[in-house]
Amino acid sequence: ARSVGLHDVLASGESLLVPDVSAAMLTASASDAEQFGIIQALELASYGLVPLVIRERTLGVLTFATTGQRQAYSQQNLPLFQAIAQRVAFAIENARLYAEAQQAIAIRDQFFSIASHELKTPTTSILGYAQLLERRLLRTSEPDQRLQTPLQAIMQQTHRLNRLVLAMLDLSRVQTGQLRLTWGSVDVGSLLERVAQEARLSTDRHTITVSAAEEPVIIAGDDLRLEQVLYNLVQNAIKYSPQGGPISLALTLEPASVSIAITDRGIGIPTAELSGLFQRFYRATNAAATTVSGLGLGLYIVHDIVSRHGGTISVDSTEGIGSTFTIQLPRRAPGVRN
């Protein structure tokens, strides 16, 4: 009499072959009782048990069996069984690792989302109080320069922090598909003027010009989100032309769409790197080599917002010469007819 063997295989990691079940006079220990029942119920004639081993861990046992008149398995079949078991073990391990990676990504995204939400409240509060202090200071008859300069530094850095936090928040919204648009009518010409006006405040080295149609151009879209898109592209144009120079915002009309091109004469982008630009955390090598800091999130979010409008974004650039980012937006909301 011999034991069914399932637990022996699990424990030893050695394969086992029973070429003739009827001659083997199987007995089952309590732990193998179920297996014993199956062998009897299926009237197995022969079977082989091979451990599924990966990195010295036994994940389980693969059973090969014959019934009835089929030729019984012999020791010669074992190498094939073991090769199959090896593949099965790899597949199981891969699936496990994949699930683990997915779970880690989910935890990371969740952390990112919570962290950016939690950072937003204190940042907004610091900014508010700094602005309050600045107003009070400026109202005094002789504002103290020793207070004004550090206060401005606090404001500037908090604004920067705020922008980073907002980008992180948007990233987690994009990743979870929760960045929603509030549809309305957008006057593209005045939007361009507004963005240019604000950008001029942040630089005295660049000349920012807008060329738009005389008549108002109204499209369907989310005013605030489109402002964010343009603001981002113009800020990039400023950031990546540290020597200064002209930056132009040009609006062109097509029958069913409008296109807006933002052109700078900055550091440009190496041709080989253009295709990766809209991926998150992507920064071109020539940008990373400068002192210009960035997370590489802006264009990823811009791309998402433009796509949600049913539009496209493209880039044309020559390293050392300058770049043009062009967004094309349909005049009507996608899915809306007439």
Residues binding ligand ADP (CB under 6 A): 236-237, 240, 264, 266-269, 277, 282-284, 287, 294-300, 323
Phi and psi dihedrals of 210, rounded to 5?
-120, 130
Cβ 122 to ligand ADP, closest distance in Å? 23
Which CB atom, from 63 or from 286, has the smaller least distance to ligand ADP? 286
Q: CB of 297: closest distance to ligand ADP in angstroms?
A: 6
Q: Shortest approach of ligand ADP to residue 295 CB, angstroms?
A: 5
Closer of 32 and 264 to ligand ADP (Cβ): 264
Give the Cα-Cα-Cα angle 277, 282, 285 (nearest 5 degrees): 90
CA dihedral 218, 219, 220, 225 (to 10 degrees): -100
Separation of CA 260 from chain center: 26
Alpha-carbon span 304 to 327, nearest angstrom? 12
Q: CA-CA distance, 9 to 189, in Å (whole number)?
A: 76
Residue closest to 205 by CA, chosen among 262, 156, 243, 248: 243
Nearer to ligand ADP, 131 or 207 (CB): 207
- Residue least distant from ligand ADP (Cβ): 294
* Shortest separation between residue 119's beta carbon and ligand ADP, angstroms: 17
How far, in whole angstroms, is CA 186 from its chain's centroid?
Answer: 29
Kindly state the greatest CA–CA separation across the chain: 109
Q: Which is nearer to ligand ADP, 280 or 332 (CB)?
A: 280
**CB closer to ligand ADP out of 229 and 287:** 287
- Helix extents (H) in the chain: 6-12, 21-24, 33-41, 78-139, 145-175, 188-201, 223-239, 285-288, 298-308
Tokens 């802006």, residue located: 298
Smallest separation, CB 263 to ligand ADP (Å): 9
Closest to ligand ADP by CB, 219 or 283: 283
Q: Could you tell me the smallest distance in angstroms from the CB atom of residue 310 to ligand ADP?
A: 21
- Kindly give the pairing relationship between strand 245-253 and strand 206-211: parallel
Structure tokens of 128? 């508010």
Can you tell me whether residue 268 is helix, strand or coil? coil
Whole-angstrom distance, CA of residue 170 vs CA of residue 178: 9
| Nearer Cβ to ligand ADP (288/336) | 288
| N residues, the chain | 338
Distance of closest approach, residue 279 Cβ to ligand ADP, in angstroms: 9
- Pick 49 or 284: Cβ nearer ligand ADP: 284
Q: How far is the CB of 259 from ligand ADP (least distance, A)?
A: 17
